[in-house]
Structure 1
Amino acid sequence: MKHYNWTEFALIYALTVAGTGNCYFLQEDLVQALRLFHDFISLVYTRAVPIGISDFTDVLDELRSRARIVVICFEKNSQKRRFMEAAKAKGMSNPEYVYIFPDVDNTGFGIGNYGNQTDSSYVNDGSEDMLEVFQYALAASRYAGSLYDTMYMYGLALNKSLNDDPINGWRRGSQILSYATGTFNGSIGPVIIDKNGIRSPVYSMDAMNISGAMSTFATVKVEGHNYQYWGYVFAAGALLAVATIALIISAVYMVGKEDFLLERDVLLKKRSVDE
């Protein structure tokens, strides 16, 4: 945003109970982040809307006279769609406006559970109880990849610890934690673990390409208050700049509340049996 001399933006977010929901943390951390970036960017308009809002007429009427770059957080994808439909109806979906929907999910737009379906029509034998079970479709959680990465990381660290101490290596939690430090390729991308056992976030900016398919246009790797950015050249360069800064601001300061991920929980439990 600084590169393009964009100095003002608006924030619209769903109002939730304090301490719950993605939008609560996004709004709180974004305000904190602005204290460090106040020299070149200002939040000129903030609107908290009911979590179940479906009519965005008043919001858009106010927004029209306040800002053109808008960061938006809703708890439901259906609300995002209704908001953009309302913006289009009011003539506010043209290149004059930029709408940013930051999210710390590890899936893309509209991706739900993995479709690992089971069809009972192919089961021709077995007990009645088993047949009843297979009549229900089974779907893995969207976070199954994160669980896989956690166990894979633990396995890598445990192997290193056992190589060092074949007898008691599996019981030394602090040693296993130290061996977890490093980088490996996980199921959902690169996994970077720092010396404290905390996963360093790697954020990507995904958007629909000209064919309507999802593509990754930029990646931001955050380590503490430092970040590395590498992007892919595409036509909407202005949008990329705005979205990247928004991702950096939200990512750096959301780490404080969300960086103790499942990876560290697994390793810290091992400390309790450390000799």
Structure 2
Amino acid sequence: MAITLGDNRYGKAEVRLVRVVRDGPRHDLRDLTVSVALAGDLAAAHRGDNSGVLPTDTQKNTVYAFAKRYGVDEPEAFGLLLARHFVDTQPGIHWARVDLVEHPWSRLGPHSFSRDGGPTRQASVTVTGEASHVVSGLAGLVLLNTTDSEFHGYVRDGYTTLPETTDRVLATEVAARWRWASIGDGPPWGASFQGVRDALVAAFVDTYSYSLQQTLYAMGSRALEQREELAEIRLTLPNKHHFLVDLAPFGLGNDNEVYVATDRPYGLIEGTVSRDDAPPAPEAW
């Protein structure tokens, strides 16, 4: 019987990095979680030969050393530096991916900050010997409309109990990932993140919704219309259900005023919105 090693990778996960820039009395702060994954000629390692293995502790140290040497401006740019370093300096490594999550802080003063409850900024950088790919994103963007949302006309069968509604609360926690049409030499990483976030929020606010699927498509379309550097965007929208509470036992009516918010189970709506002329995507993004 033949036994073959399949796809494999290894790396250092969730390296916590805080970089402070002390340029005079006003300080700047970047707070990241960085994960590294490497793949290549690693079959020998699975047979006990570590001669081609760059220790994951070394990968962690590289993250910290690069933060000092090059600074941490934009997550995408920092990820590209790291991924290209691992592929360029390790003969047996032909593929590197660096995933980054930036934890937001709000400025309170020249050197004072508070942890922001807003969405996290994310990036995933993949480098091979032939190409570099960057996917940017966000997670934890919580949005809610108290009206202008309906849901009816859906399939009904013997197990359907959900009542139709022409006025409901629509709430979700947006996770989005967008692929760049081209990364060139100096993409507008930060401006694009803010622009996509603003477009997603505006589309959610402006859309009279007949389903969360419709809202997803409107949000993805708005992002592509306003940010020409995007090739496509993937959205994950959980339906954060708000159900009307039955107040009749207490002799009270409930004209869409009192709800119970439930966290599970929940509907999960996912979709990709693309440009017709978008360049081909890498195998996995």
TM-score relative to the length of structure 2: 0.22
Structure number having the greater helix percentage: 1
Bigger relative contact order (CA 8 A; separation at least 6): 1
TM-score relative to the length of structure 1: 0.23
Structure number having the greater strand percentage: 2
